[in-house]
């Protein structure tokens, strides 16, 4: 974030009080903060009462061996039973759990809690028949269809940790994840619908199975949902249609109560090195943290609210605030398969109007896109059902916040800017809509029971009005337990920087304003945030270097009006690629962009590739990305005195000037 934006942020002084009716009937009141401060364990134990336990815990938190936490020790529960069975048992079987809206306009389907329970039980029985046992990992690579949630809950029911891989990721990315967590079964579909056309998934799975097997990981079954009906290659020894395997199963399945610390899922996310990190979430604490905060932050009234989170289930937001949190709370929600602009740019608002959505949760990048498309588009629809708006994934700039409130929230609906991470599992910093007044651009303060601060290099709390690093000072129920198979990297990444203080280092820069409220300022490590998706600079650099024409690459995230940040790559070509004169750069640039897309996925495709003769390096050989960022953001290049060769930046700027 540029200095300019920073000072703009700090001059933001608009304030919005909570609406009186919301405040009067709010799920969580001011007093919760004091309760959470006084005795966080008692606070979370209280929150845990909202779930059904097989056996109650003996101890709320075991923090005897930090940073390895155990929550609700000795307790047992089943996540799927909490998300479906208990609502049916309580007489809510006929309530709609999911209003599914497919991308094709007439393709809609309502699933009640009773139907969802039957589907989950059938799928569980099918997995058992496939030989999946408690503890086995199952990879899920699916579009946004109800079967994806069914598959996740079936895994949870069995105690087989799932790893959902976003459908936009490449075959390589899928293969790496399958290998890392040792999955022998993949659940997928022939494809999904995207902007009016079927888009295939199964071919990527076929390729990934081959690649995984080269790396020693055999995938023995692939369960395939028929979604689009497109042709697929088929291997009888391994592939199985979902409708053949699942539909004929019994809808009864006796669920086992799993230990509170039994692994629920692994979600891979980008770190500062090329290798994605497998974030491990376990059962009890995760379900407490997600269901409680979903009820608290969105002021959920499960009897009347219609909730819609636009995230893909392939990301943590889709896990915590589409699958587990909302279903554990027994609410009705919308699930939409497609993009916001197909077949027209009012599609989302049409869905809000049709289903009477009351709580709407999306990302700043989407809001900025709608701003660009124009106020007249949402104005065509009746959005008066909306009573709460949420934002997640990246800092929301005050302009986008105010536009959201004005144009989607009728100028009166509170906006909750929720800060959290794949690692935190649950929302950590956010306003409480019935308590906290809104400040455009600020996530405000840590939720009750959560301890967050902004500190300096040494871990000392910074005074109001100053910036520093965001830390979390106390364990919380939905926290990651470790990185799959890599306790050392877990300690190193999050807990070593402030080891003496015992703080969790989030990797985000932040600032406290004069009131002590927190403003998130973006990542301070080599992680980019593009449209709310986390990408590693190193991972994209290694994808570029794997191209035969590339000798070296440096990637930076440059500010972008719509996507927050955009991937900008600086590439040095190999001598051999330069032979025969400068090969047509436009084609080569396109070739390199496509190469990254193939290696990682479309979200990682660079906005810009610049072919340069040199990269700016320190004497010890470290690339100074800060200087490249200056170039990518068209700024005066900063201090170059620590460069081994200070003339390098002139060479690079020449290239940028020539438009290459
Ligand atoms: C990173 C985590 C949380 C689910 C989606 C992303 C950034 C997230 C906010 C926010 C400013 C935010 C941070 C964080 N981030 N929410 N409200 N304001 N920044 O999950 O992929 O794990 O990314 O997203 O930089 O560290 P993720």
638 marked as part of a ligand binding site: no
Confirm if 444 and 37 have CB atoms less than 8 A apart: no
Of 508, 519, 528, 601, which is best to mutate to test ligand 1, by the most ligand atoms within 8 angstroms of its C-beta? Answer: 508
Cα–Cα distance, 96 to 331 (Å, whole number): 8
| pLDDT computed for residue 655 by the predictor | 73
- Which is the closest atom of ligand 1 to the Cα of 520? 11
pLDDT digits (tens, 9 = 90+) for 76-90: 999 999 999 999 999
Ligand 1 pocket: which residues have CB below 6 Å? Answer: 269, 316-317, 392-395, 417-422, 443, 506-508, 520, 523, 529, 532, 534
Residues 240-244 have a mean pLDDT of 98
For residue 333, what are the CA distances in angstroms to 22, 116, 341, 361?
20, 13, 21, 11
Nearest Cα to 421, choosing from 486, 361, 472, 474?
A: 472
| pLDDT computed for residue 238 by the predictor | 98
All structural domains of the chain with their residue ranges: 531-656
Residue 659: pLDDT band with limits 50, 70, 90: very low
In degrees and rounded to multiples of 5, residue 313 shows phi and psi of: -65, -15
394 marked as part of a ligand binding site: yes
| pLDDT computed for residue 656 by the predictor | 67
Does the structure show a pLDDT above 70 at 301?
Answer: yes
273 marked as part of a ligand binding site: no
Helix (H) or strand (E) holding 84: none
- If you take atom 8 of ligand 1, which residue's CA is the nearest one? 393
Does the structure show a pLDDT above 50 at 475?
Answer: yes
Least confident piece of the model among 420-424, 534-538, 544-548: 534-538
Tell me the pTM: 0.92
Does the structure show a pLDDT above 80 at 372?
Answer: yes
For residue 255, what are the CA distances in angstroms to 55, 79, 81, 86, 397?
14, 10, 7, 12, 46
Nearest Cα to 546, choosing from 585, 591, 513?
A: 591
| pLDDT computed for residue 585 by the predictor | 83
Which position has the token pair 């075991």? 62
Cα–Cα distance, 320 to 503 (Å, whole number): 24
| pLDDT computed for residue 2 by the predictor | 43
| pLDDT computed for residue 4 by the predictor | 45
- If you take atom 5 of ligand 1, which residue's CA is the nearest one? 393
Q: Which residues pair with 611 in a beta bridge?
A: 571
Residues 172-177 have a mean pLDDT of 96
| pLDDT computed for residue 3 by the predictor | 44
- If you take atom 11 of ligand 1, which residue's CA is the nearest one? 395
395 marked as part of a ligand binding site: yes
Residue 132: pLDDT band with limits 50, 70, 90: very high
SS3 percent helix, strand, coil of the chain, rounded to 5, is: 35, 25, 40
Does the structure show a pLDDT above 50 at 486?
Answer: yes
Residue 69: pLDDT band with limits 50, 70, 90: very high
Nearest Cα to 541, choosing from 618, 622, 619?
A: 622
Render 429-496 in DSSP notation, one character per residue.
B---TTTSPB-TT--BSBPTT--EEEE-TTSPBPPTT-EEEEEE-S--TT---EETT-HHHHIIIIIS
418 marked as part of a ligand binding site: yes
Residues 372-384 have a mean pLDDT of 97
| pLDDT computed for residue 375 by the predictor | 95
| pLDDT computed for residue 272 by the predictor | 77
Residues 389-402 have a mean pLDDT of 94
Residue 622: pLDDT band with limits 50, 70, 90: confident
Does the structure show a pLDDT above 80 at 401?
Answer: yes
Q: Out of 3.30.300.30, 1.10.3720.10, 3.40.50.2020, 3.40.630.30, which CATH number does the structure's domain 531-656 have? A: 3.30.300.30
Instruction: Tell me the average pLDDT of the chain.
Output: 94
Least confident piece of the model among 6-15, 104-113, 186-195: 6-15
| pLDDT computed for residue 620 by the predictor | 74
- Which is the closest atom of ligand 1 to the Cα of 311? 5
**How far apart are the CA of 386 and the centre of ligand 1, in A?**
24
**How far apart are the CA of 391 and the centre of ligand 1, in A?**
10
Neighbouring CB atoms inside 10 A of 657's CB total 8
pLDDT digits (tens, 9 = 90+) for 327-371: 999 999 999 999 999 999 999 999 999 999 999 999 999 999 999
Helix (H) or strand (E) holding 369: helix 364-373
Residues 563-576 have a mean pLDDT of 92
């Amino acid at each position: 974030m540029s200095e300019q934006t920073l000072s703009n942020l700090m001059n933001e002084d608009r304030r919005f009080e909570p609406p009186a009716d919301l405040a009067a009937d709010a799920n969580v009141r001011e007093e919760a903060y004091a309760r959470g401060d006084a005795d966080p364990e008692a606070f979370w134990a209280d929150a845990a009462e909202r779930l059904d336990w097989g056996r109650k815990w003996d101890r709320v938190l075991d923090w005897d061996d930090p940073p390895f936490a155990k929550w609700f020790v000795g307790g047992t529960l089943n996540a799927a039973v909490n998300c479906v069975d208990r609502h049916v048992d309580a007489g809510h079987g006929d309530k709609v759990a999911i209003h599914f809206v497919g991308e094709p306009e007439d393709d809609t389907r309502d699933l009640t809690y009773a139907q969802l329970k039957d589907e989950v039980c059938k799928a569980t029985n099918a997995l058992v028949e496939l030989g999946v046992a408690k503890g086995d990992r199952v990879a899920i690579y699916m579009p946004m269809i109800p079967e994806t949630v069914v598959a996740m809950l079936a895994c949870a029911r069995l105690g087989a940790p799932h790893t959902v891989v976003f459908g936009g990721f490449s075959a390589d990315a899928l293969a790496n994840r399958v290998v890392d967590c040792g999955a022998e079964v993949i659940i997928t579909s022939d494809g999904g619908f995207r902007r009016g056309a079927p888009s295939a998934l199964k071919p990527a799975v076929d390729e990934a199975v081959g690649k995984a097997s080269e790396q020693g990981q055999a995938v023995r079954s692939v369960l395939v949902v028929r979604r689009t009906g497109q042709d697929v290659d088929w291997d009888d020894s391994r592939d199985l249609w979902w409708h053949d395997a699942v539909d004929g199963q019994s809808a009864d399945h006796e669920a086992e109560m799993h230990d509170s610390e039994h692994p629920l899922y692994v979600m891979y996310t980008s770190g500062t090195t090329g290798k994605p990190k497998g974030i491990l979430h376990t059962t009890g604490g995760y379900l407490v943290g997600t269901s409680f905060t979903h009820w608290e932050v969105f002021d959920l009234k499960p009897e009347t609210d219609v909730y819609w989170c636009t995230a893909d289930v392939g990301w943590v937001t889709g896990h915590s605030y589409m699958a587990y949190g909302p279903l554990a709370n027994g609410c009705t929600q919308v699930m939409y398969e497609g993009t916001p602009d197909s077949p027209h740019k009012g599609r989302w608002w049409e869905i809000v109007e049709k289903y009477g959505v009351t709580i709407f949760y999306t990302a700043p990048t989407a809001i900025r896109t709608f701003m660009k498309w124009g106020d007249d588009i949402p104005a065509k629809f009746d959005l008066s059902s909306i009573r709460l708006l949420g934002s997640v994934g990246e800092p929301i700039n005050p302009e986008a916040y105010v536009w959201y409130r004005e144009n989607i929230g009728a100028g009166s609906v509170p906006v909750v800017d929720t800060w959290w991470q794949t690692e935190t599992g649950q929302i950590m910093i956010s306003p409480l809509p019935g308590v906290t007044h809104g400040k455009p651009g600020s996530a405000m303060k840590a939720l009750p029971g959560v301890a967050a601060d902004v500190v300096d290099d040494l871990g000392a709390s910074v005074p109001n009005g100053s910036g520093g690093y965001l830390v979390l000072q106390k364990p919380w129920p939905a926290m990651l337990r470790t990185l799959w198979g890599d306790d050392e990297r877990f300690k190193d990444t999050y807990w070593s920087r402030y080891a003496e203080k015992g703080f969790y280092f989030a990797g985000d820069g932040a600032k406290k304003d004069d009131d002590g409220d927190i403003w998130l300022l973006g990542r301070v490590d080599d992680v980019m945030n593009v449209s709310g998706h986390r990408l590693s600079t190193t991972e994209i650099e290694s994808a570029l270097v794997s191209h035969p024409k590339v000798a070296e690459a440096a990637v930076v995230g440059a500010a972008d009006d719509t996507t927050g940040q955009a991937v900008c790559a600086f590439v040095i070509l190999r001598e051999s690629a330069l032979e025969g004169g400068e090969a047509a750069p436009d084609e080569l640039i396109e070739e390199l962009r496509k190469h990254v897309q193939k290696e990682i996925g479309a979200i990682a495709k660079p906005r810009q590739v610049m072919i340069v003769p040199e990269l700016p390096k320190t004497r010890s050989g470290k690339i100074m990305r800060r200087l490249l960022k200056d170039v990518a953001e068209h700024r005066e290049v900063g201090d170059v005195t620590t460069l081994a060769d200070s003339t390098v930046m002139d060479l690079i700027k020449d290239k940028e000037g020539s438009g290459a």
